[in-house]
């Protein structure tokens, strides 16, 4: 059965239970009343809602009322998406929006990605050929550093598994290490072959 | 009801021409096989990548003409890149509602892709390429991003699914230039996917944790680790049949290998162990009660004349638990009781669109309940042919 909000007639969707001095206090609120009383929204919320609330909560909205500010001042030069539009549905209009709104997006990205601010991972060959050598080197360095970290982590886990006599897990971790090493040596061979071809 | 092998896709028209979706009901969907690592708890593993083409507007700013062009470019690429032995292409906007729902139920397209955007979704150009008959690979075109690549496997096999999709991604990137920045990685319409564009998820069957009342703890722990917990049909769906999806949230600042390692080697094995522990505890401390619940569920499935989806899924969940614990060996016509594979398939076949496809016509709710009961009863009680 659906429960009504403690403050109004709408359906309660946010439920909070706190225990104070051994006394259980329950609060059942609709989204609006919950928001008004400062309870953070649930993680199960659709992601666009999360962004909308987040953007509003972080005070990322322009301080100047929209009417006083020309809409185009804060628009992506390529697709003309404004930050206000983005806030509404949580979707950007084109790849260039990332550059156009970089300053406003950064805090949002950090929060959505557990503090992550820059890409670590796969690099597309074709697209990378267009971003310049310096950027390629930097991105590749990040990948290498991350891989080393991961190898260290797996080694530590492997040691622990052997200590605990969890041999099945140890075998799996060892295979994983081998795979990483194999991939590295293959990549080096490919690079060497490519450089040889170019020379 | 077409349950014979005549339903296999070899009878489908070939290749690139737009056609209604015709995935086989029982064949195909290799992820339902009920095998692979930890298959008693992990039903399937899925990996998806979000990709966009450089120089083309994303969905919210694309005109219909842009969308038509994007679809053509992507379709030509994925259908000609030899991604699998055989691929079929389905124009979603040209498919009847029932076929779209069938694809959603089979996890080959998202709900939103089925629905479409704009005032007239039937005119919104979008599609999906599917590898047949295994359905291991699905590539959505013109969803929220230009391309959504998905690989799915039975059991805990995120590493294999990642290898599948990584290779597919390379083949596509050899032909198309992706929107990419060295700082933010693969650029996506929603900033929550930017970076690797990677979502790894496992579908977990957790009846033991529900019966012991521990499921909320797992959900909270997963949320604390910044993982998303969702129902059988993804975002916003209610958990049915004790099936839960767990997936990574962060895509920026964490490599694919890191996400894979955390999920496949650290997080999922712990949840699996926790579920198995609950099952052992139920067996040790509540054996009679557990037996009773499982056999009642079996009784419902083989005797009922009307079944709702929820009822069927609830009972199938308990029967799946019984099968994986070896408690239902004397049930049904076979010497070994029902197989995991049959139960997994039934969890899909009882869904509304599948049911109507099996019967071969549209049914109202009452008719569906009757057809569902007949289908389940027949599948569980008729002797198996090899």
The reply to whether B226 and B206 lie within a common domain is yes
A75 close contact with B: CB closer than 8 A: no
Lowest-confidence range among A36-45, B118-127, B255-264? A36-45
Is residue B17 in a domain?
no
Which tokens hold the place of B336? 């070994």
CA gap B109, B139 in Å, rounded? 8
Closest by CA position to B84, among listed B32, B137, B128, B42: B137
B365-374: pLDDT as tens digits: 999 999 999 9
Which tokens hold the place of B159? 């590493």
Confidence of residue A22 (pLDDT cuts 50, 70, 90): low
* Preferred mutation among B177, B181, B235, B251 to probe A, highest tally of A CBs within 10 A: B181
Closest by CA position to B168, among listed B145, B195, B149, B194: B149
Instruction: Considering only CA atoms, give the Rg of chain B.
Output: 21
Strand partners, B92: none
CA gap B190, B251 in Å, rounded? 11
Which percentage of chain B shows pLDDT scores above 90? 69
CA gap B241, B314 in Å, rounded? 5
A93-133: pLDDT as tens digits: 999 999 999 999 999 999 999 899 999 999 888 777 766 67
Lowest-confidence range among A36-45, B34-43, B112-121, B263-272? A36-45
Which tokens hold the place of A32? 């609006």
Question: Which is more confidently placed, B383 or B245?
Answer: B245
The reply to whether B197 and B78 lie within a common domain is yes
Interchain CB distance below 8 Å, A47 and B194: no
CA gap A199, A129 in Å, rounded? 18
pLDDT at B300 over 90: yes
Closest by CA position to B165, among listed B204, B139, B128, B189: B139
Is residue B185 in a domain?
yes
Residues of chain A contacting B250 with CB distance shorter than 8 Å: 112-114, 116
The reply to whether B181 and B118 lie within a common domain is yes
The reply to whether B39 and B111 lie within a common domain is yes
What DSSP string runs through B183-198? Answer: TTEE--SSTTSTBT-E
Query: What pLDDT is attached to residue B304?
Result: 97
A122 close contact with B: CB closer than 8 A: yes
A81 close contact with B: CB closer than 8 A: yes
| Region A84-96 average pLDDT | 93
* Min distance B58 CA to chain A CA atoms (Å): 5
CA gap B303, A24 in Å, rounded? 45
Which tokens hold the place of A65? 């009322």
A147 close contact with B: CB closer than 8 A: yes
The reply to whether B41 and B114 lie within a common domain is yes
Query: What pLDDT is attached to residue B109?
Result: 94
CA gap A192, B257 in Å, rounded? 24
Domain carrying residue B56: 30-277
Which residue among B253, B277, B301 closes a domain? B277
B163-172: pLDDT as tens digits: 999 999 999 9
Chain A's closest residue to B49, CA to CA, is A122
Question: Which is more confidently placed, A10 or A134?
Answer: A10
Which residue among B215, B247, B277 closes a domain? B277
Interchain CB distance below 8 Å, A116 and B250: yes
Strand, helix or coil at B361?
coil
Q: Residues A83, A84, A87, A92: is their CA dihedral positive or negative?
A: negative
Nearest beta carbon to residue B255 from set A43, A89, A121: A121
The reply to whether B296 and B270 lie within a common domain is no
Mean per-residue pLDDT of chain B: 88
The reply to whether B299 and B266 lie within a common domain is no
Strand partners, B154: B44
B49-107: pLDDT as tens digits: 999 999 999 999 999 999 999 999 999 999 999 899 899 999 999 889 999 999 999 99
Distances (CA, A) of B273 to A105, B73, B280: 39, 46, 10
Query: What pLDDT is attached to residue B373?
Result: 97
* Min distance A49 CA to chain B CA atoms (Å): 12
CA gap A141, A148 in Å, rounded? 11
* Min distance A107 CA to chain B CA atoms (Å): 11
* Preferred mutation among B157, B172, B183 to probe A, highest tally of A CBs within 10 A: B183
Question: Which is more confidently placed, A180 or B182?
Answer: B182
Q: Are B379 and B355 in contact (CB under 8 A)?
A: no
Backbone φ and ψ for B245, nearest 5 degrees, come out as -105, 135
Residue B373 makes CB contacts below 8 A (sequence gap 6+) with B304, B305, B306, B307
Interchain CB distance below 8 Å, A124 and B180: yes
Neighbours of A160 (CB within 10 A): 13
Strand partners, B311: none
Question: Which is more confidently placed, B16 or B320?
Answer: B320
CA gap A95, A99 in Å, rounded? 8
CA gap B176, B69 in Å, rounded? 13
Is residue B9 in a domain?
no
Is residue B11 in a domain?
no
pLDDT at A45 over 60: no
Is residue B16 in a domain?
no
Burial letters A27-40, b for 16+ CB under 10 A, else e: bbbbbebbbeeeee
Is residue B105 in a domain?
yes
Nearest beta carbon to residue B256 from set A113, A116, A122: A122
The reply to whether B199 and B314 lie within a common domain is no
The reply to whether B240 and B339 lie within a common domain is no
Strand partners, B89: B129
A159-190: pLDDT as tens digits: 888 998 888 888 888 888 888 777 777 666 66
The reply to whether B48 and B178 lie within a common domain is yes
Which percentage of chain A shows pLDDT scores above 90? 20
Mean per-residue pLDDT of chain A: 74
Domain count of chain B? 2
Nearest beta carbon to residue B183 from set A43, A118, A130: A118
Look up the pTM and report it: 0.76
Interchain CB distance below 8 Å, A121 and B198: yes
Question: Which is more confidently placed, A191 or A63?
Answer: A191
Query: What pLDDT is attached to residue B280?
Result: 96
Which tokens hold the place of B161? 């699914």
Going by the DSSP 8-state scheme, the letter that residue B213 receives in this structure is T
Strand partners, A27: A16
Interchain CB distance below 8 Å, A91 and B174: no
Interchain CB distance below 8 Å, B265 and A173: yes
Residues of chain B contacting A107 with CB distance shorter than 8 Å: none
Which residue among B242, B277, B312 closes a domain? B277
Which tokens hold the place of A46? 């659709």
The reply to whether B260 and B326 lie within a common domain is no
CA gap B92, B123 in Å, rounded? 10
Instruction: Considering only CA atoms, give the Rg of chain A.
Output: 25
What DSSP string runs through B23-76? Answer: --SSS--GGGS--STTTTTEEEEEEEEEE-BTTS--GGG--HHHHHHHHHHHHH
Residue A171 makes CB contacts below 8 A (sequence gap 6+) with none
The number of CA neighbours under 13 Å toward the Cβ of A121 is 27
Interface ipTM: 0.84
Q: How many CB pairs under 8 A join A and B?
A: 170
CA gap B141, B75 in Å, rounded? 8
Burial (CB < 10 A; 0-12, 13-18, 19+), residue B120, is exposed
Q: Are B323 and B207 in contact (CB under 8 A)?
A: no
The reply to whether B121 and B198 lie within a common domain is yes
Q: Are B136 and B30 in contact (CB under 8 A)?
A: yes
Interchain CB distance below 8 Å, A46 and B235: yes
Highest average pLDDT, of A70-84, B37-51, B324-338, comes from B37-51
What DSSP string runs through B260-291? Answer: HIIIIIIIHHHHHHHHHHHHHHHHHHSHHHHH
Nearest beta carbon to residue A46 from set B52, B236, B252: B236
A17 close contact with B: CB closer than 8 A: no
Highest average pLDDT, of A99-103, B15-19, B337-341, comes from A99-103
Residue A192 makes CB contacts below 8 A (sequence gap 6+) with none
pLDDT at A67 over 50: no
Is residue B8 in a domain?
no
Check which CATH number belongs to the domain holding B36 and give it: 3.30.590.10
Query: What pLDDT is attached to residue A135?
Result: 72
Is residue B147 in a domain?
yes
Lowest-confidence range among A49-53, B39-43, B69-73, B318-322? A49-53
Interchain CB distance below 8 Å, A112 and B192: yes
């Amino acid at each position: 059965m659906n429960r009504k909000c403690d403050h109004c007639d709408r359906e309660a969707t946010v439920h909070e239970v706190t225990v104070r001095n051994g006394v259980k206090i329950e609060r059942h609120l609709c989204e609006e009343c919950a928001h008004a009383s400062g309870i953070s929204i649930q993680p199960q919320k659709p992601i666009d809602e999360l962004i909308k609330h987040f953007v509003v909560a972080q005070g990322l909205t322009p301080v100047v009322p929209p009417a006083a500010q020309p809409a185009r001042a804060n628009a992506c030069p390529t697709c003309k998406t404004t930050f206000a539009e983005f806030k509404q549905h949580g979707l950007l209009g084109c790849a260039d929006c990332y550059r156009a709104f970089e300053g406003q997006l950064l805090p949002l990205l950090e929060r959505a990605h557990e503090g992550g601010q820059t890409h670590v991972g796969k690099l597309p060959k074709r697209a990378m050929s267009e971003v310049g050598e310096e950027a390629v080197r930097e991105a590749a360095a990040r990948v290498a550093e991350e891989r080393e970290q991961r190898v260290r982590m797996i080694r530590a886990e492997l040691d622990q598994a052997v200590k605990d006599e969890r041999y099945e897990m140890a075998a799996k971790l060892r295979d994983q290490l081998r795979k990483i090493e194999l991939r590295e040596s293959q990549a080096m061979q490919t690079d060497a072959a490519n450089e040889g071809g170019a020379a | 009801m077409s349950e014979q092998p005549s339903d296999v896709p070899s009878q489908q028209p070939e290749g690139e021409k737009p056609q209604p979706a015709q995935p086989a009901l029982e064949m195909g969907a290799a992820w339902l096989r009920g095998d692979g690592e930890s298959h008693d708890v992990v039903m399937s593993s899925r990996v998806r990548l979000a990709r966009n083409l450089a120089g083309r507007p994303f969905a919210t700013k694309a005109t219909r003409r842009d969308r038509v062009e994007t679809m053509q470019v992507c379709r030509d690429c994925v259908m000609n890149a030899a991604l699998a032995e055989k691929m079929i292409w389905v124009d979603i906007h040209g498919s009847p509602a029932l076929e779209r729902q069938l694809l959603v139920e089979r996890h080959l397209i998202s709900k939103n892709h089925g629905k479409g955007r704009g005032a007239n979704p039937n005119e919104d150009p979008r599609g999906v390429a599917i590898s047949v008959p295994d359905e291991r690979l699905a590539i959505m075109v013109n969803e929220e991003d230009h391309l959504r690549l998905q690989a799915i496997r039975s059991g805990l096999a995120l590493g294999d699914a990642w290898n599948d999709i990584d290779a597919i991604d390379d083949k596509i990137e050899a032909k198309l230039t992706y929107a990419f920045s060295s700082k933010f990685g693969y650029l996506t319409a929603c900033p929550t996917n930017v970076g690797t564009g990677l979502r790894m998820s496992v579908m977990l069957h957790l009846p033991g944790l529900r019966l012991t009342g521990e499921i909320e703890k797992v959900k909270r722990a997963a949320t604390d680790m910044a993982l998303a917990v969702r129902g059988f049909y993804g975002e916003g769906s209610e958990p049915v049949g004790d099936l839960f999806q767990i997936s990574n949230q962060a895509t920026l600042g964490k490599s694919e290998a890191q996400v894979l390692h955390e999920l496949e080697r650290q997080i999922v094995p712990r949840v699996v162990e926790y579920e198995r522990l609950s099952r052992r505890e139920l067996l040790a401390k509540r054996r009679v009660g557990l037996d009773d619940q499982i056999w009642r569920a079996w009784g419902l499935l083989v005797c009922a004349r009307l079944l709702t989806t929820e009822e069927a899924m609830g009972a199938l969940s308990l029967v799946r638990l019984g099968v994986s614990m070896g408690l239902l060996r004397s049930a049904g016509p076979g010497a070994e009781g029902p197989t995991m594979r049959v139960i997994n398939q039934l969890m899909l076949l009882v869904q509304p669109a599948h049911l109507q496809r099996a019967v071969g016509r549209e049914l109202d709710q009452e008719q569906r309940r009757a057809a569902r009961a007949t289908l389940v009863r027949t599948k569980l009680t008729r002797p198996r042919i090899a």
